[in-house]
A and B are shown apart, each in its own frame.
Chain A
């Protein structure tokens, strides 16, 4: 299929403009639940990225032979298979992290981003664009999770990169950086309310940067809003 795909735009979409976590507000459950520190966020972010890549590739491969009527069921099967692989891999190589992430690893199956990209993008595009889209969307999600995890860890405990040995082996144990000595840990940032507050602040920050960028750029002709979805914080392209 000869299709014109702008890879730069795919990248920009996934990482910033259409960021799954901060704009589409998809996958909020893992985003809010596991981002208590950087290592958890990194672990789940990487797992999500991997699943997104595999599912986008597989869906793109079979896109011409699966009929529309049963496509969702097939996609979910593919995603579930990929998630099972990730789960087994983590169990083998990062068992402690696997135990910490617990139910949120299998729950990647139900993460809307993955089904959304499979149905919204990979179903209509070739192998390479689908792979790029999967990686970029996954990277956008992972980046949002890591930033959120870092913020919550820094405010909550006054340190960063604790327990990195769970993911990178014993030598990473020393990566922990104490930002403030004798910091009185601020539990709220680590508890669930902190997740909501910091996600809100991140979205506000993103909108602020967008506004600044828009103000600096030449005012473009306003395009009509075509998407009428309610649960978005930016404009979905």
Chain B
């Protein structure tokens, strides 16, 4: 039966993939500015490397796969992947580290699975996890924030970015992140820990809190432009806050830190508004988004508190990427006029 094409004046959204990606890029700007202010120009160097590698690899893969290069490059999705990975890496990361990360993200996580829109896993997070488990030393070498008075100089940052700095010098100017400090210390009062280490700030890590607030601002901008709905980020933040509140004992460093600390540390806000909301790899139904976000929030806390890695957002997101189709299957919205049976039961009857 041929369906007649309806010609009524349908509303057409002005949002193309390229437009969405450009808005996402725009929304990362406050976060990038905050990172640069607090951790030096290393973040900008990361961005430069990551973007050039991403465009080169994307073009190479498109050529190999015989797809239109200009069309797919201009949708900026490779740049979004590059930016998300670049801000997640330690500032002034050596260029080869970024190259390997982009290779894993663009070639393996994206194009080998079929390219834009077909990847089951978030490419930036795949790149991050590949780097984290392969190069733990480089990946945990965070430069000290401005507040500690040991901000990385511009020349030094360029040296490190070109992988020319000697190892001793790298060790001398890196610091454990606040999340690491809190995990490794279990016999102090939170207040003492805060006073002993310059990495802690007002509510979370020094610098980190502003970076997270900046990403929150970017995320709220995207929310206001209706790039995504509020469900997944809010569910993730709520679940993370709830877990932190449940396991927080109010003052000793043996427990996991206050909800505010978790909200404003590490990659929480970046994850909540830029990673969890990825339209390709997350659940799509409204209930599904709530479940997806909440599970990520719970996992982030579990891995941060009991895991061995500096942050947990990437692992939590990848695990839930696995589960997203499953979540979608069980949260299919009821079709208007039909009963509340699930598709599996309908098939049986």
Contact = CB atoms under 8 A, between A and B. Distances in A.
B96 interface: yes
A187 B135 CA distance: 7
Interface in B56-112: 96, 100, 108
Is chain B's binding surface mostly helix, strand, loop or mixed?
helix
Interface string B111-136: 00000000000000000001001111
Contacts of A191: 133
A237 interface: no
Nearest to A187: B134
Contacts of A178: none
Contacts of B100: 186
Nearest to B97: A184
B133 A188 contact: yes
A184 B135 contact: yes
Contacts of B96: 184
Contacts, number: 16
A197 interface: yes
Interface string A187-224: 11101000001000000000000000000000000000
Contacts of B138: 184
Interface residues of B, number: 9
What band does the interface of chain A fall in when counting residues whose beta carbon is under 8 Å from B? under 10
Nearest to A156: B134
B108 A186 contact: no
Nearest to B112: A200
A186 B135 CA distance: 7
A191 B100 CA distance: 16
Interface string A168-194: 000000000000000010111101000
A188 B108 contact: no
Nearest to B163: A184
Nearest to A204: B112
A197 B138 CA distance: 23
A187 B108 contact: no
A197 B135 contact: no
Contacts of B133: 187-188, 191
A219 B138 CA distance: 52
Nearest to A194: B134
A162 to B, nearest CB: 19
B228 to A, nearest CB: 30
Given A187-B133, A191-B133, 4 more contacts: A184-B96, A186-B100, A186-B135, A187-B136
